[in-house]
Amino acid sequence: MVKKLEKVNVVVVGSGWAGGIVSAEMAKAGHKVVLLERGKKQERSDYIGVKDELRYTNRYELMQNLSRETITSRVTMDETALPVRTRKEMMAGTDLGGGSVHWAGATYRWRAYDFEIRSKTIERYGKNKIPEGMTIQDWGITYDEMEPYYDRWEKTAGISGEPDPLGDKRSSDYPNPPMKESPALRLFKDTTKKMGYHPYQVASGNLSQAYTNPDGEAMNACMFCSYCTQYGCDFSAKSDPLATVIPTALKTNNCEIRTNSQVRRVLHSGGKATGVLYTDTRTGEEFEQPADIVVLAAFSFSNNRLLMLSEIGQQYDPKTRKGTIGRNFNAQTNITFQGARGYFEDKKFNLYMGAGALGAAMSDFAGDNFDHTDLDFINGGGIEIRQYGDAAIASNHVPDGTPKWGPEFKKNSIHYAYRNLRVWYTPAIMSWWFNYLDLDPTYKDEYGDPLLRVTFQYTDQDRNIAKFGIEKCTEIMKEMGADIIDPDSYPEQFDHVYDGGHYAGGVIMGADPATSAVNNYLQMWDMENLFVVGGSAFPQFAGHHPTATIGALGYRAAEGVEKYLKNAGPLVEAKHASLNA
């Protein structure tokens, strides 16, 4: 028996950056908001004193409990997908604040090129540069239009950084200066500068100084304790929704947060969303939460699956290449973060110190910053060095050729524990007609609903760009003076490991309803009072980490929801010139 609750203005599903921002903005504007989160309630005090590598890094304490639900995965359409069963292979965040609590903090704006990738690629290299079947497309919004939302999110989050010398125009500096520079970062910067490149400090959600954001939320300066990625912050020095938008939403008294609330359907009738159906995971009770506007702001997997289970929009079918829901799945995976590791006999770095986003980067081989005329791929990525701060289980890097176990492993792992650095490339991932999401025909969740199925394969584009990155990183490592250099090798094919959180697409943004599911306000073309916000909107993945773009999309969507509440109807006029490949 479903219990029907009192109607509110906006119901938001998911409490990470995207859902937190929309909830805070709507609540600030005086609208009644209910925010539903499948995981448990938590607050910043939950993370005081829990610097436990085994529990968080190796046992994935902050990740979704897969006994209830996971995804299935395959490479090509003719295979049977298998479930991704362990948290080592499937790290999706859960609990209040979502995956945004365990993020590292690396902050990049995506490039003007990224938002108009199809037009700009054709403009510079001609139509034939884009291979048949590569379904990359323009976002229906430009960098200049996105800029104010990036700016806004950076201020909310207190991002600490300096401008990318090869980046696009900014309306203002980051609200905080970059973090301190460690000797490892200095070595990377000095070396790449000498090589004629343009290094800079990675902008971070780890704060370089105490800061109060425009909503009045205070955060502390990061102390480089190194328990950061996959952890909640012990000191409120890593910006996340628990430190910012969640308390901002709550203090308005207009937002009610319900945790342990697993949304299972978007309810709709006559082409309009009417609310959501959710289950209290502690009691099994089912509730209907009616609302004027429904905002799906869960992880991209959940956004896709909820639309499919609710039968909203047209499921993408790779055979006909028609339909939009599930189209253009794109992800940074095990082919993405490749480079070279160097071992230094006469240098010892304090690698047990660090922070999630403590790093240096260069954009000389990012986006279209370099000429691709004679290259066998398009787009690019950042080259990064990061000093996360490795605890003792993680710091077991040994030169190639060392056995994985036994006396020689022991000797080398101890000797090189603080004598190795890694430089990697973070290339963009392009979309293809055969990479998509749909519902699995066999495997079910705890309620008997089908799991989401991922079909994803690498192409020459991925392998060529990875090879290019490995070569560049190896050159840099050589110049940095490493005594032993182990260039990474890239995998030929996807290994079904979803451990980085960078999985996107399926409910993508665009100008044409034939090839996109949402318009540039994240409003569904097929259901005007349903907004779908987050990484699910990326038509393809740019060559940098995604969080800032999700934050910016959150503010863009909030503006759209506000507009819609004032004046219902489509917020953007559809363009029907199909750009589909």
490 binds another protein (CB under 8 A): yes
CA dist 305 to 70, 434, 436, 485, Å? 11, 18, 12, 43
Q: Which one of 148, 500, 526, 565 is in contact with another protein (CB under 8 A)?
A: 500
Number of Cβ atoms within 10 Å of the Cβ of 270: 5
- Beta bridge mates, 279: 262, 286
Q: How far is the CB of 488 from another protein (least distance, A)?
A: 5
Within 42-101, the residues that bind another protein by CB under 8 A are 49, 51-54, 57-60, 65-67, 69-70, 80, 82-89, 91
254 binds another protein (CB under 8 A): no
Q: Which one of 338, 431, 515, 519 is in contact with another protein (CB under 8 A)?
A: 338
Q: Which one of 337, 436, 456, 538 is in contact with another protein (CB under 8 A)?
A: 337
Between 165 and 184, how does the x/- string for binding to another protein read (CB under 8 A)? ---------------xxxx-
Number of Cβ atoms within 10 Å of the Cβ of 46: 16
- Beta bridge mates, 487: 340
CA dist 350 to 183, 461, 547, 554, Å? 9, 37, 28, 37
The maximal CA–CA distance of the chain, rounded, in angstroms, is 71
The tokens for 194 are 């000498």
115 binds another protein (CB under 8 A): no
C-beta of 73 vs 529, nearer to another protein:
73
C-beta of 406 vs 569, nearer to another protein:
406
Distance CA 512, CA 573 (A): 9
- Beta bridge mates, 327: 506
Residue 368, phi-psi category: left (phi > 0), alpha (psi -120 to 50), beta (remainder): alpha
Would you say 114 and 141 are in contact if contact means Cβ atoms under 8 Å apart? no
Distance CA 536, CA 405 (A): 41
C-beta of 185 vs 378, nearer to another protein:
185
Q: Which one of 171, 223, 317, 568 is in contact with another protein (CB under 8 A)?
A: 223
Length of the chain: 581
Q: What pairing do the DSSP bridges indicate for beta strands 450-455 and 436-444?
A: antiparallel
Q: Which one of 496, 506, 512, 522 is in contact with another protein (CB under 8 A)?
A: 496
Q: Is 545 part of the annotated catalytic residue set?
A: no
366 binds another protein (CB under 8 A): no
Question: Identity (one letter) of the amino acid at 318?
Answer: P
Q: How far is the CB of 92 from another protein (least distance, A)?
A: 12
Q: How far is the CB of 339 from another protein (least distance, A)?
A: 8
547 binds another protein (CB under 8 A): no
Within 224-243, the residues that bind another protein by CB under 8 A are 224-227, 229-230, 235
Catalytic one among 31, 102, 496, 502?
502
- Mark the segment that binds another protein (CB under 8 A) among 264-272, 292-300, 346-354, 550-558: 346-354
C-beta of 314 vs 402, nearer to another protein:
402
For the annotated catalytic residues, the residue numbers are 502
